[in-house]
Chains A and B, each alone.
Chain A
Amino acid sequence: MQYAILCYHREAEVCAWSKEKDAQVMAELSKVQRKLAAQGRLGPVARLMPTSAATTLRKDRDPPLVLDGPFAETKEQLLGFYVIDCENLDGALEAAKELGAANPGGSYEIRPLRSFRIGAPPE
């Protein structure tokens, strides 16, 4: 089963990290990622730019409305995500805990993927 690990954290806090601290956290995370990759379980990994770079398209109207900023004002913001391959939820939680130990603070939302594809669907 594939799981997405959606990384939520207080952006104001992460943006206040020094360059050194940021590099240190990324280095710690890389260790866990390399381990998952060696097991052939690591899919795409993404770190998102700050929500100030985000634009939201509200498509519940016609024409759609373009708004600056993230979709929702939340206390913790979506800052990145992983896709990993795990036996079951326990496995996903274990991987998430390892990543979390490398980067404490915030929350991970673990969501099983219904489908995952790179590129267009087959004809």
Chain B
Amino acid sequence: MTIDPAWIEDAIVGARPQAIAALLRHFRDLDLAEEAFQEASLRALQNWPRNGAPRDPVAWLIFVARNSAVDQVRKGSRNEPLPDEDVLVDPQSTEARLVETLDHADYRDDLLRLMFICCHPELPATQQIALSLRIVSGIPVARIARAFLVSESAMEQRITRAKARIAAADVPFEAPGAVERAERLAPVATMIYLLFNEGYSAGPADVEERHALSEEAIRLARLLLRVFPAEPELMGLLALMLLQHSRLGARFDTDGQLVLLEDQDRSLWDHGLIHEALALIDKALRHRRTGPFLVQAAIAALHARAARFADTDWASIDLLYATLEQLQPSPVVTLNRAVVVSKLKGPGAALEMLEPLAKPLDGYFYYYGVRGALLRDVGRNAEAREAFERAIALANSPAEATHIRQHLDALARNLQ
């Protein structure tokens, strides 16, 4: 019997979130859970090629991880050699029994607890994301460091600090009630979206390394939705990410310049992802319970449904933004709505909406980019130039700065 080592690695990666989550409940200690899982993974690499793959890799890994931790304790107390692992562990025969004890509700609450711990409110967002990538996804520190453009030792420190903070905090191990469950889902969903955006905001140079972050966020959302299949906001979150990710191939031109939605070649969009997202939104809308992720997904879906930019259903998008403003009032949402209003009622009406946003969005790149474009459209070129220059100063990436620079150049040409 031969088993492809790559297959074993895939199985271990796929099993990791649920296995670590179950081990955390068992040991109540992140480091112990991680070490035990690590040990079980090594044994899987040795054992599976010899004895065949287990029917349920997750259950096998949990079982062996628990056993190996018990070994460790025994090794510590008596300094005598232990029998070979094959004698000690016969996972195939005990697997069925274990599977019965690991019922669906446990899996669900374990996974949610693990993710909830990683986005503990005392942790800054950067630590939440780093910790989730390390613990839940099992991505090596060196790779996380590369994705965040920091040194490996700096990332190691960030993760260690996050773990120390969590260890000092109270971690709830009792099974959560329905209300607590809902309260835990919200920050976990937010963390997943932050992780997604870390990848989405990448420039063309680091897009390879960072789009893996977006894909990891999508994987975590799928995982969560599988254990909470009736949560419309999770469907919205996953759909929103799928829709944004579907545009990946069209977001940069061959020179690495950012391509705006209106200029993107829509045939380059990933229509498989778009269809999955539309199916999820369709399902979520049946619940008649609207949340911010679902509304944002519905907005993205209207863009995805338009064959050409000119076909965009701006009136429906405006209604959805109005809903979003009510659900989650924020100057950024109003700014986005102003862009939509400019399509429906012209740049003058949009500029009026921007007036009260000047103060809260002072220091926000996108605000000055939008304002510059609207001022240009109504012919206030001097003010437009001022706004564009401010935007360049606030740009988050060279691609953003270059994009605004092109607006400025065009303005200068028009003045000649």
Contact = CB atoms under 8 A, between A and B. Distances in A.
B276 A49 contact: yes
A50 B272 CA distance: 12
Which label, helix, strand, loop or mixed, suits the secondary structure of the B interface? helix
A70 B238 CA distance: 17
A11 interface: yes
Contacts of A10: 11, 14, 57
Contact of B229 (A13, A16, A69): A69
B77 to A, nearest CB: 36
**7 pairs of A and B residues whose beta carbons are closest in the complex:** A13-B14, A69-B229, A52-B225, A68-B230, A68-B229, A53-B279, A16-B14
B52 to A, nearest CB: 13
A12 B15 contact: yes
A59 interface: no
A105 B11 contact: yes
A96 B219 CA distance: 28
A87 interface: no
A11 B10 CA distance: 12
A104 B7 contact: yes
A88 B366 CA distance: 64
Interface residues of B, number: 33
Interface residues on A, range: 20 to 34
Nearest to A105: B7
B4 A104 contact: yes
Interface in A46-93: 49-53, 55, 66-70, 73, 75
B223 interface: yes
25 contacts: A10-B57, A12-B14, A12-B15, A12-B17, A12-B18, A12-B223, A13-B11, A13-B15, A16-B10, A17-B10, A19-B215, A50-B222, A50-B226, A52-B226, A52-B238, A53-B276, A53-B280, A53-B283, A68-B229, A68-B283, A69-B229, A73-B104, A104-B4, A105-B10, A105-B53
Given A12-B226, A66-B286, A75-B56, A52 B104 contact: no
A14 B15 CA distance: 11
Contacts of A18: 212, 215
A14 B13 CA distance: 10
Interface of B: 3-4, 7, 10-11, 13-15, 17-18, 53, 55-57, 99, 104, 212, 215, 219, 222-223, 225-226, 229-230, 235, 238, 275-276, 279-280, 283, 286
Contacts of A16: 10, 13-14, 219
Interface in A4-39: 10-19, 21
Contacts, number: 71
A49 B279 contact: yes
A89 to B, nearest CB: 23
A25 to B, nearest CB: 10
A52 B276 CA distance: 9
Nearest to A51: B226
A15 B11 contact: no
A52 B15 contact: no
Contacts of A70: 229
A55 B10 contact: no
A75 B102 CA distance: 12
A32 B20 CA distance: 37
B57 A55 contact: no
Given A52-B225, A69-B230, 13 more contacts: A10-B57, A11-B226, A13-B11, A18-B215, A21-B10, A49-B275, A50-B276, A68-B230, A70-B229, A73-B104, A75-B55, A105-B10, A105-B11
B360 to A, nearest CB: 36
Contacts of B276: 49-50, 53
Contacts of B215: 18-19
A24 to B, nearest CB: 10
Contact of B283 (A13, A21, A55, A73): A55
